[in-house]
Structure 1
């Protein structure tokens, strides 16, 4: 298609369809008028033909006589706007008589195959319509009458044709500019979208498209783009925060390791002091490795598409494996773990991802439980889902912090419990995996009372 603007393309497409419609309407008008005029002339010719046939008398010798006096008198006493031309022939197709208005001209007598048919012809270059009819006596042709009338009425057809041809392009041009005007008004929201979109950059994501008053397709488009911008802004803000937090979390252990090593090389130390500082650096390296692993894991899940390996997952076994993984810490802190499994529970999901979710949740319960605390793990099911509930009576989470616990690197008031180490990525990973697997997660908690987490697995 030609390189038109969107507004002109709308107008152009409208004109194409309108042109076809107008052409059909004009053609119908022309055909109706043409047919009506033709019928009118044919009716007049038929009336005149009947009158002239009444003037013909046939004798016993099959010779017809024309009542010339009556014919001439009627011709002089009647007012004919459209002149009538008449000629009479004998059975040998020789001219017998004709109307005075023909003067030296003659009408054409055609073959008998054209009898009683209306034929368009010319008389001295003037268009006429004529009919020839045999004069019969006892079904025997004794002569012919040819009657014609001028096609002056068809001048109306020519005038109409010229008018239609002249007005057709004018109408289309006028309609094009009218359509272009209304198309411009109709796509005004699109112009607003373009202007607003041109202002939006990575440093300016606050602008939004003004929603049209009419809730039509353009309203839906504008709202969809605004929602998209909201999601992009949120994603970029999360990315900025994640990058900032990640760089801070990685920089801290590196700075600690560097400072410790710098202290060691300032002067000679005792063997035990070297071992203590080196062990401290090793623990910081382990913490750094753990942090990097979790960052890579979170980045992997952020970009993961729907390529999960769905299989039959035995939840009872996964829970027991996770508990055994933290058994040393459970024993060290005298934590009592109660499991309520009244039967075997299976779900259709990704085994590896579900194991990460359960391991992280149990790890948090163990980490934040008090010495001598209790962890209760329940499994039950209904028609809609299988429910895993993990409850503890640990330090809990302040109510105003619950909405932030899934944010990367967020840890609720570290100053109150500095001895509890962590990266703040565990619940971020859990939430991301739950979203990937369509697992609903609910967390309720009260400070110094405990936390309850419920997973609903379809």
Structure 2
């Protein structure tokens, strides 16, 4: 719009300038033509009669010398000897023609015959309104062209902006014109199709592999439990079976982590009111095997009526990782789980957890996993706008999640 408007304004100004210049040149040419005709008559009369005749056209006069010119023209002519048009006093206007040979001058006072000067205001006004009209038309044309040219790009931008990893758009390139934007859309659509296929393959592989692994692991764990229950097992054999059982537990935690990763994109359920204590107790029971053989006490200070306003699946995954991480890193001492001012604090002895632990595959010294747990927690909390903080105080690490957005209590 700016380009069209600027170009239209420039053309209008140039057009107006040339119009004004043209009318002035036409008027001057008319007066100069009359002077030339009269000069021929005067020169012929002077050549045949030896003197100057009275001009036939009104407003014209012959002056024998330049000194007799009116309205101070002699002085001005002396300053500008090449000039043949002068403005006089009281609105008079003169055109001059020298009669050669000699110093005689043919002078036409044309103030009564001027056509352009009385019309100048109207001409300029007409040019101004015309320029304004052209400017408005140029802006409208520029806006129409801009919308027509950018509409496909805007639609493409909206399609890309609404895309998400779980919902990649397809088939949008067919509705766009066959131009540069259409070519870009087709290329982008092909890329999204390949990305979606890649994501589906990775998700299906993770899900299928994890499910396929859980069955043989359950069989191995059951066999280890039966072997450990035998009384005739030699001590060294019992130790080896214990190592196998620990490895099975580690593999089961890894498989559960992979399942969480596979399900992460599908955790789109809305937040609801969740009773906090039953969820925590169930997670503690699930993670209790991590504390076998350790002098560890769990201090649970959560009221029975404590509530959270979070997606239940997300809350379960986050608590499983945080409580499991606290159990895994505690060799002895107390693991505390408490609600404090809208936050759930999980505290255990040690100082090895911090911001660096949020990176994938970042493992602590006591970790038997693959360093994915806290990374999953951080991603889920960021996606669902759940507050997450770390604190290290008096040789204890505290990880807290916000029980956010709890609805107000019913006054009844």
User: Higher helix proportion, which one?
Assistant: 2
Q: Give the TM-score normalised by the residue count of structure 2.
A: 0.49
